[in-house]
Amino acid sequence: MINDKYYYRHWVIMGIITAVVILYVCRLFYLQIIEDKYRRQADSNALVHRTKYAPRGLIYDRHGQLLVFNQPAYDIVVTINEMSKTGGCARFCRDINIDWEYYVDRMSEIKNVNTNRGYSRYTPQIFMTQLRMEDIAQLQEVIHSNHPGFAIQHRTLRDYTYPNAAQVLGSIGEVSQNDIEKDDYYARGDYAGRDGLEYTYEKDLRGEKGEEILLRNSRGRIVGNYAEGKYDSEPKAGTDITLTLDIQLQILAENMLQGKIGSIVAIEPATGEILALASSPTWDPALLVGRQRSKNYNILSNDPTKPLMNRALQAQYSPGSTFKTVQACVALQLEAITPNTTYPCSGPGSAPIKCTHHHGSPVSLLNAIEQSCNPYFWLAYKNTLEKKGYGKNNKDFKAQYNRWRDCVMSFGLGHKFDDSDLYQQSRGSIPSAELYDKWYGATGWKAITIRSNSIGQGEVQITPLQIANAAATIANAGYYITPHLNKADSMLTRRHDTKVDKNYFRYVQEGMWRVFEYGTGRHHKIPGINMCGKTGTVDNNHGRPHSLFIGFAPKENPKIAVAVVVENAGYGATWAAPMASLIMEQYLTDTIARQDLKQRMVTSVTNPNVKKYQ
Amino acid sequence: MYERRVKYAIDWFTVIIYLILVICGWISIYGASHTFEQTELFNFDYRSSKQLVWIAGAMIIGVITMLIDYRFYEQISYLFYGLMIIALLATPLLAHDIKGSMSWIVIGPVSIQPAEIAKVATALAIARFMNSYGYRVNSLRDLIIPAIMLLVPMFIIMVPQKETGSALVFASLILMFYREGMTPVILLLGVAAVIFFVITIAFAEATLPLGTGTWGITACMIMLMIICFIYVYHWLKLPRFAFILAGINTAIAAIALTVNIWLNVNMQYVSIAIVLFDAIYTALLGIAHNKRDTIWIAVFAIAAIIYCLSASILISKLKPHQRNRIMVTLGVIEDRAGQGYNVNQAKIAIGSGGLWGKGLGSGTQTKLKYVPEQDTDFIFCTVGEEHGFVGTTFVLLLYLTLLIKLIIMSERQKDNFSRIYGYCVTCILFFHLAVNVGMVIGLVPVIGIPLPFFSYGGSSLWAFTLLLFIFLRLDAARLDRL
Ligand SMILES: [Zn+2]
């Protein structure tokens, strides 16, 4: 029918068909060649990047005792899009043993894009972390059949050989949004050290995560490795760390501090290695692991005795009479006194500072240390500051004051050990002349104004670590190595010389030796060992005085320097001195002969508010 | 009665294209259905293996179709059509509800969709009717009976069987009617209806910058104003009056916008009022100049107003999932999780194929079952993902070649019956191709119809084979009709 008058219309129909096909080819060209987003979406659809978590580095004590290791742990993750639409939440709550409110809160937290920026309906979100085997045992059996969308992810948690050294070791927790933004190593759900050594050595301990790329079907089922695992990477385990701590010494220190508030710091003077760093109250580090972490953390942070505060590094005290050892060195160095200088003492009748002890008068330097004579150290301090008079506008006096301050601070007092690996130290304070100028006016203060400094009261504030380090400095006769915790890190063994000539130290050492022989420490001498020490009894506004002690032994070749602070316990000689002595005994003889004394220290309670967190 | 000639008269070119499409389809089903663990070829748990059985069946159907006398098809067409109507009516009573559709009859392991065969029967019956003596398609009266023959199965499939997609296929025969002499006005009205519908719906949510009302209807009204202007300017050849019309329109709009500063004027209704004015103005102008046909442009404008308003009301009355499908396709809403999920996943699968594709059996999207219906309605995704732009273009060009070839073959027929039937085949295949691929690449709403010869499933493959091979048989006999 070629002569059909509508024959031409077959061209129109061909044209329509051809036009549609051309339109579709153009559209396909756009979708497949030009637009790149579909390829990326396809990858995120089908490829699951599953992190292979690296086992965290282990932590050992100085003798190779394992302190911190890893235990298997589990996270529960949820993919919102794959969850059952018909409920089952109540059943889920029962299987994992959480209450309904927690479930609802957690779900709304997950879905809140403001706080959970990585949120997507299609990717697994962390629902709960750090669960132990027993927490998930019930859930694990039914998770696939009863709870679509939920999955269990294998992780590791920390575990501890000893229930000790919690503040030193620190703990790990889930990273915050802030951490993720600061360090792109982290992803949501990772753990990182939150405090203590776990925090300081995070980069060593964490190792390196590996990654596995898996293929996932639309129901969320993993069906195999992408490209036969060609792009997968294995995790690298974290570096193990050996500490300077002696765990037996640490345990003894913590046990003795039970029922008391205070701290004990022991340092090896020759190396600056911290042998013990105890703070009380404390807790079993296992309490901050896993699911009960946040609950226990809350309990600890709400305890009025502030167990979370590492008192050894953070508490600041007036050093009291223990400071006289440093004062003696500085007065000798600044030539305010000589080793032979004597001053008169009228006992309790002395002015402006009375003496708390009864002894002969006049006293020499060694006797003054032995007897902790307040008037001697006041007069020595006065002479130190006023040696060159006051000068115009007190200029000469202040210059002398600054010299004194520099010398004191060269013992590591009143400033942080910036080159140390210790976490969150307090600064302490040796007040500056500017501070007094502000308080009293440029000419408004004299030696007598700040007389309390002479006996370690007043504005002088130090931390237990600092005063222990001062003891180590005296033991070393003039220098200290930065106190530190990591035995392997040679960067930390930096020597700091004091501004006091090393020849002056033997007089102070001698005086401290006499404390154990004839003075306030004589009841706590270990037979056969030449011990040096100085007690301190610091009055304060919160009840009984703080009991302090610093010391080192043996005198001729010091192996250990110790500082002990027991808050509101009484005389230095009653609490701090015996504890320091026991620490030295344990470290030097590897055993305790005076079991009765030890028992008394361990069991006595000076503060009934201190709880035991085991 | 089988002549030896048939063998030589068979259009082998078409047969080969058919075979290539069936083979490509099977490869795609194989790529889509076998998973990473399952790699055996002949395990009848897999759809690719089952499809081999359907293909074998299709071959037998093809051969049998070619062996039957060509006159048989015309003779039995009414009977066949009648039986199919009965079968369609009976289907919902016997059918199992499969995903909300009542169109499948399940007999043992086999599911049959009578709607597929109904296309063949309807095409044959209409071709026979339009071949009857004295039939003139260009008279509207003669168009009514074929239209009814078309609408009856369409209605049965759409309403009791709830199979909208398969029902719409029948509408594609409008192209065949056009070829046979139907006035192009109906075709143009159809196109206008689609355009107005799309604009009204797509911009139904877009608020006008000033005053109240939405862009959807207003945009349609502006188009009608332009049509009136062009009509007066071009067909009535009265440029002066055309500009007067435009001036009045602009003035009304300007006044309305000015009033808008003090009072809220619904610009949507203002635009409708302008079009009403234009319609009357144009009609009067036509009468004044003795061109009475002009009345139709006024009727058209008023009908368009009513149509647009009804469309916007209709869309608000649709079931939410139907409205969503339309909205997603028109790009009004982006719903990646709900109705849009399928389309989005389909686009991701195709888009990730790139130029050369990921290779047979390596498509992650289709194989991992992100794409729904990946071996039936969304089979084209597998082609796109595994064989890339090269693969999709190749398949589209194969179809284009087949369709052009079918038109050429239809035109070489010596009798109306064969030609009309040929166009029916072309229209049905074209509609399936356009809607299926358009749906997969996000240009057409999601309407579940298979890709001819490609999609998995016996019913559709056998029905399309029958449809095509009847035409090949008629074509092979063309030399006998001298
Ligand atoms: Zn005295």
The pLDDT tens digits of the residues spanning B112-146 come to 778 888 889 999 998 888 887 767 766 777 788 88
A473 CA → ligand 1 middle, Å: 26
Contact B178 A10 (CB under 8 A): no
Contact A217 B370 (CB under 8 A): yes
Residue in A with minimal Cα distance to B180: A6
Among candidate residues A20, A225, A30, the one with its CA nearest the CA of residue B384: A30
Ion ligand 1 — residues with CB < 5 Å: A 345, 355, 373
Q: Domain for residue A32, yes or no?
A: no
Q: Domain for residue A444, yes or no?
A: yes
Q: Best mutation site among B186, B395, B400, B415 for testing chain A: the one with the most A CBs within 10 Å? A: B400
pLDDT at res. B331: 58
Q: Where are the beta strands (DSSP E) in A40-182?
A: 47-52, 59-60, 66-78, 125-131, 150-160, 172-174
Residues of B in contact with A31 (CB under 8 A): 347, 350-351, 384, 441
Of residues A20, A45, A121, nearest to B370 (C-beta) = A45
Of residues A2, A17, A215, nearest to B403 (C-beta) = A17
| Residues A230 and A317 grouped into a single domain | no
A70/A33 Cα distance (integer angstroms): 50
Contact A32 B354 (CB under 8 A): yes
A356-365, B338-347, B462-471: range with highest mean pLDDT: B462-471
A47 touches chain B (CB under 8 A): yes
Domain layout of chain B by residue ranges: 2-181+348-481, 205-323
Contact B365 A42 (CB under 8 A): yes
- Backbone region of residue A284 per phi and psi (left: phi > 0; alpha: psi in -120 to 50; beta: other values): beta
Contact B404 A17 (CB under 8 A): yes
Q: Domain for residue A475, yes or no?
A: yes
| Residues A552 and A591 grouped into a single domain | yes
Query: What is the per-residue pLDDT across A118-137, written as a single tens digit (0 to 9) for each?
Result: 666 666 788 887 787 888 88
Rounded to the nearest 10°, the torsion over CA B275, B277, B281, B287 is 90
Structure tokens at A427: 């600064």
Contact B364 A7 (CB under 8 A): no
Q: What is the CATH number of the domain that holds A488?
A: 3.40.710.10
pLDDT at res. A594: 92
pLDDT at res. A2: 43
Contact A13 B407 (CB under 8 A): yes
Contact B179 A10 (CB under 8 A): yes
Distances (CA, A) of B466 to A205, B64, B66: 72, 10, 10
A35 touches chain B (CB under 8 A): yes
Interface A–B counts its CB contacts (< 8 A) at 131
| Out of A398-412, A479-493, B6-20, B343-357, least confident range | B343-357
Residues of B in contact with A42 (CB under 8 A): 348-349, 351-352, 364-365, 385
Provide the domain count of chain A: 2
Q: Best mutation site among B364, B366, B411, B429 for testing chain A: the one with the most A CBs within 10 Å? A: B364
Of residues B348, B355, B441, nearest to A27 (C-beta) = B441
Give percent of chain B above pLDDT 90: 15
| Residues A391 and A482 grouped into a single domain | yes
CA distance A42 to chain B (A): 6
- Which is it for strands A47-52 and A150-160: parallel, antiparallel or unpaired? unpaired
pLDDT at res. A557: 92
Q: Domain for residue A80, yes or no?
A: yes
| Residues A200 and A271 grouped into a single domain | no
Q: Domain for residue A389, yes or no?
A: yes
CA distance A19 to chain B (A): 10
Cβ contacts of B170-174, under 8 Å, gap ≥ 24: B170/B119, B170/B122, B171/B431, B172/B427, B172/B428, B172/B430, B172/B431, B173/B123, B173/B126, B173/B424, B173/B427, B173/B428, B174/B427
CA–chain centroid gap for B216, Å, is: 24
Q: Name the DSSP class of A356.
A: S
| Residues A585 and A571 grouped into a single domain | yes
CA distance B114 to chain A (A): 27
Residues of A in contact with B337 (CB under 8 A): 81, 121
Residue in A with minimal Cα distance to B137: A6
Rounded to the nearest 10°, the torsion over CA B214, B216, B221, B222 is 90
Among candidate residues A567, A565, A568, the one with its CA nearest the CA of residue A551: A565
Contact B348 A45 (CB under 8 A): yes
Give phi and psi for B462, each to the nearest 5: -65, -40
Query: Is the pLDDT score of B442 beyond 50?
Result: yes
Across chain B, what does the average pLDDT equal? 80
Q: In what order do the strands lie in the sheet with B96-98?
A: B96-98, B101-107, B110-112
Query: What is the per-residue pLDDT across B379-400, written as a single tens digit (0 to 9) for each?
Result: 888 888 888 899 999 999 999 9
Confidence of residue B92 (pLDDT cuts 50, 70, 90): confident
Residue in B with minimal Cα distance to A26: B393
Residues 100-139 on A with a CB inside 8 Å of B are 121
A13 touches chain B (CB under 8 A): yes
| Residues A209 and A314 grouped into a single domain | no
pLDDT at res. A220: 58
pLDDT at res. B355: 82
| Residues A291 and A232 grouped into a single domain | no
Q: State which H helix or E strand residue A546 sits in.
A: strand A546-553
Residues of A in contact with B178 (CB under 8 A): 9, 12-13
A52 CA → ligand 1 middle, Å: 68
Last residue of a domain, one of A216, A242, A268: A242
10 Å Cβ neighbour count for A289?
Answer: 21
pLDDT at res. B37: 47
| Residues A231 and A254 grouped into a single domain | no
pLDDT at res. A221: 63
Residue in A with minimal Cα distance to B367: A217
pLDDT at res. A294: 84
Residue A365 near residue A359 (C-beta atoms within 8 A): no
Contact B364 A45 (CB under 8 A): yes
| Residues A192 and A255 grouped into a single domain | no
A81 touches chain B (CB under 8 A): yes
pLDDT at res. B341: 63
CA distance A120 to chain B (A): 12
Residues of B in contact with A47 (CB under 8 A): 364
| Residues A258 and A290 grouped into a single domain | yes
Last residue of a domain, one of A242, A262, A286: A242
Residues of B in contact with A224 (CB under 8 A): 36-37
Domain boundaries, position A78: 47-242
pTM, two decimal places: 0.59
pLDDT at res. A7: 83
Residues of B in contact with A218 (CB under 8 A): 345, 368-370
A12 touches chain B (CB under 8 A): yes
Contact A35 B368 (CB under 8 A): no
Residue in A with minimal Cα distance to B391: A28
Secondary structure string (H, E, C) spanning A442-496: CCCCCCCCCHHHHHCCCCCEECHHHHHHHHHHHHCCCEEECCECECCCHHHCCEE
| Residues A331 and A479 grouped into a single domain | yes
Contact A20 B441 (CB under 8 A): no
| Residues A232 and A302 grouped into a single domain | no
Structure tokens at B263: 């009072």
Query: Is the pLDDT score of B329 beyond 70?
Result: no
Secondary structure string (H, E, C) spanning A159-178: EECCCCCHHHHCCEEECCHH
Q: Best mutation site among B343, B365, B401, B402 for testing chain A: the one with the most A CBs within 10 Å? A: B365
Residue in A with minimal Cα distance to B362: A227
Mean pLDDT throughout B188-216? 75
CA distance A228 to chain B (A): 11
Residue in B with minimal Cα distance to A38: B348
Residues lower than pLDDT 50 in chain A? 1-3
Last residue of a domain, one of A242, A274, A308: A242
Residues of A in contact with B36 (CB under 8 A): 215, 223-224
Of residues A14, A217, A218, nearest to B404 (C-beta) = A14
pLDDT at res. B109: 63
10 Å Cβ neighbour count for A79?
Answer: 18
Contact B384 A9 (CB under 8 A): no
